[in-house]
Amino acid sequence: MTLYQYKPYYSYNGPTLSEPLREELPPEEVERRLELFRKELPDYFIDLNAELEFSDDCEGKTDYVVSITTDAKEDECDERVKRCLNSLDLFANKL
């Protein structure tokens, strides 16, 4: 099994071609979405042999690293994380 780690975050760089009406989220909404990511990500791995662990990195529930241990290939794992992030308008640094 392989370990993959991601650190989710929010970044506003203005509207995009795919979302021309995109607006910056207030801090409370960013916090809510980062917490939702913790809750929703396991659903994206329900059909795989995967173990997810959320480690509080610095300041609690919205500043953390997710560690995924799985037999899935790196591309598949990255894609599943990306789909969850995109649904919440978030990004992640892969560690």
- The domains located in the chain, with CATH, are 2-94 (3.30.70)
The per-residue pLDDT for 34 is: 93
- Other beta carbons within 10 Å of 62: 20
> What pLDDT, on the 0 to 100 scale, is given for residue 45?
95
Whole-model pTM over 0.85: yes
Sign of CA dihedral 17, 30, 5, 93: positive
User: Are 29 and 36 spatial neighbours (Cβ–Cβ below 8 Å)?
Assistant: no
E strands, the chain, are 2-9, 50-56, 64-70, 91-94
Q: Which residue numbers in the chain have pLDDT < 50?
A: none
Taking only the tens place, the pLDDT of each residue in 19-37 is 788 889 999 999 999 999 9
